[in-house]
Amino acid sequence: MKKLKLGFLSLLLLPGVTLASPEISLGLSDHSLSFAVSQSGSEGQWAFASAQITDDEHKLRQAEVGLGVAESLSDQVAAGVGLVAMAQTFDAQNTDFDGIALAVRLSTELKIPGQLGLLAAASIDYAPGITSIQDLDSYQAFRASIAYPLLSRGTIGLGYHNIQSETDSAEDDVTVDEAVTLQLSLQF
């Protein structure tokens, strides 16, 4: 696991990726706490690292790092694509599973017109069996959020995520986590 963590960190240090605007995000659901650090660049590049800790036994459920690029399609809409390396551990059918996958992430952000200045975001991750190892045959995740700007450098909002994995031994996809979260983000 130590080599895996070092590999994730090295992705964030790839040469030629100039990033600025660091952001720290916290998410809280009824059964987990998530923490993320992300950066975006002036030309649309982005990088992040995140971790999710569960309430039961306070164990790490999932860790991710990713790199990608986003393009503004208009003043209100941006779309992006990137690669996400993730590791997860979960229980299903009274069995512990561990897995590592390299996924493609498609994302979009939308500034909702109006006086509130709401921001909506969504992303989909997918890793086929060829990029999934250990107990995983595939991995998919859907995330969506809506946020309200606080001051000039922060947001508070609600998010939803559904993370599913297919394993070597489970007959159907296993829902690793599904939750509504309260989210707080601060940009520096």
| Domain positions in the chain | 2-187
State the average pLDDT over residues 104-112. 92
Report yes or no: 34 and 56 within 8 Å, Cβ to Cβ: no
CA angle 51, 121, 180 (to 5 degrees): 55
Report the Cα–Cα distance between both ends of the chain, in Å, rounded: 30
- Tokens standing for 171? 């007959």
User: Which ranges in 48-149 belong to alpha helices (H)?
Assistant: none
Tallying the residues shown for the chain, one arrives at 188
State the average pLDDT over residues 49-60. 80
Q: How far apart are CA 126 and CA 103, in angstroms?
A: 5
Q: Is the pLDDT of residue 115 over 90?
A: no
**How many angstroms from the chain centroid is the CA of residue 173?**
19
Pick the CATH number of 2-187 from 2.40.160, 1.10.287, 3.10.290, 2.40.50: 2.40.160
| pTM exceeds cut of 0.85 | no
Backbone torsions φ then ψ of 58, nearest 5 degrees: 50, 50
Cβ within 8 Å of residue 114, ≥6 positions away: none
Percentage of residues of the chain with pLDDT beyond 70: 85
